[in-house]
Amino acid sequence: MEEDELAQVNSEMRFLTLELMKIAVERKVSFREVLGEFIENVYTLEHTIRKRTLKRSRRKAKRLSREILGNRGREQQR
């Protein structure tokens, strides 16, 4: 990883940490509890994105297949 990329990652981590600390103080719970919730939400979001991407890919493949088979069917009828 490049030095500037590492600096960017560190900056984002500090920002997220501060925001999570603020949430923990507002809710009067531990940072660890808020962090656990955040991590769980990240995995939920990742799962949702993957699931939707897979559905889109399947729909696209199905549509392309219909287009290809539809064209072949017309050619065979001639």
- Tokens encoding 30: 């531990």
More confident residue, 52 or 34: 34
Check if the beta carbon of residue 28 is closer than 8 Å to that of residue 17.
no
**What's the chain's average pLDDT?**
88
CA-CA distance, 59 to 66, in Å (whole number)? 10
The DSSP code for 1 is -
Where along the chain do its domains lie?
A: 3-77
Q: What is the pTM of this model?
A: 0.64
CA-CA distance, 34 to 40, in Å (whole number)? 10
Phi-psi region for residue 28, left (φ > 0), alpha (ψ -120 to 50) or beta? left
Residue 16 has pLDDT above 70, yes or no: yes
- Tokens encoding 48: 């949702």
